[in-house]
Amino acid sequence: MCSYAGEDSAPLRAADLARLASQRATELTADGAQLHPVVASSRKLAEHFWGSAWMRHLALCEAGGLCLSPGRTLLRHGCVLDLTIAPCSIRALVSAQELYEVDLSLEPLDEEKSLALRTVCAGNVGSLVALLEGKANDDLLHTLCDPESGLLPAPTDWHMSCTCPDWAEPCPHAAAAIYAAGVLIDREPSLLFTLRSLDPATLIAPPAAETSAPLDPAGLGKTFGIDIDL
């Protein structure tokens, strides 16, 4: 079971979580804030390929001991009031006992890993649409979703910051942001590639043609016994 330290008060009931979140969203909007809330539309949290892959990956992380379930609860009760995904970063406002600011960052994919992904995809993905819809052969999709070599970030890849007093990593609010990111990725798969700072078009390029060595006029002249003006 997950346990957290750092919150002074007892956990809020579900009804209180939802009420406070709605109240804070109304207040922020009245003050002129432009919010981008993330609401879970189903128990599964994801319906399409990349969102489902994200959620399965988080389930594996939980099975490995990472405590994420409190974040899932916050998401389901409308507590992620604002969330944006940018290259290598996620920023969120999450309502709980208080309103907390969450900042998550990732290191960019290193060149070796990017090259490996481009190599395995080259000529094996029909189109950008097919890639975003997860329509490719099973072996390729397995590689793209591999916890070690694929696009989905491993727990150790995240750098987490939250304004809450909780010392756990991830805290419930960071976990809520990670789950909420998966909901957005399910709706707009290109956001996964934005997050990993990777242009998906580079993964559908055909295999690079071998480059021929430039002609050497002097060598040609010697071979054919003629003079070639340089």
pLDDT value at residue 49: 95
Of the candidates 94, 121, 91, the one whose C-alpha atom is nearest the C-alpha of residue 28 is: 94
Q: Per the domain annotation, does 222 fall within a domain?
A: no
| H or E element that contains 225 | none
Q: Per the domain annotation, does 224 fall within a domain?
A: no
CA 219 to chain centroid, in Å, comes to: 53
The chain-wide mean pLDDT, for the chain, equals 86
Q: Per the domain annotation, does 228 fall within a domain?
A: no
CA 9 to chain centroid, in Å, comes to: 32
Q: Per the domain annotation, does 41 fall within a domain?
A: yes
Distance CA 160, CA 89 (A): 10
Distance CA 190, CA 207 (A): 22
> Can you give the residue range of the structural domain that contains 194?
14-203
pLDDT value at residue 46: 93
Q: Per the domain annotation, does 208 fall within a domain?
A: no
Cβ-count burial 83-97 (b if 16+ within 10 Å, e if not): bebeebebbbbbbbb
Distance CA 140, CA 123 (A): 11
Q: Which amino acid is at 60?
A: L
Task: Band the pLDDT of 6: cuts 50, 70, 90.
Answer: very low
**pTM for this one?**
0.84
Q: Which residue has the higher pLDDT, 184 or 42?
A: 184
Distance CA 52, CA 47 (A): 6
| Greatest CA separation for the chain | 93
Write the pLDDT tens digit of every residue in 54-95: 999 999 998 888 889 999 999 999 999 999 999 999 999 999
Mean pLDDT of 106-118: 89
Q: Are 86 and 105 in contact (CB under 8 A)?
A: no
Number of CB atoms found within 10 A of residue 110's CB:
9
Q: Which amino acid is at 105?
A: S
Q: Number of folded domains in the chain?
A: 1
Distance CA 190, CA 177 (A): 18
Of the candidates 36, 75, 65, 52, the one whose C-alpha atom is nearest the C-alpha of residue 175 is: 75
Task: Band the pLDDT of 169: cuts 50, 70, 90.
Answer: confident
Three-class SS state of 29: helix
Give the HSE-up count for residue 65: Cα atoms under 13 Å, Cβ half-sphere: 2
Rg (CA), the chain: 24
> Residue 211: is its pLDDT beyond 90?
no
Distance CA 184, CA 192 (A): 9
Q: Looking up tokens 């150790």, which residue turns up?
A: 156
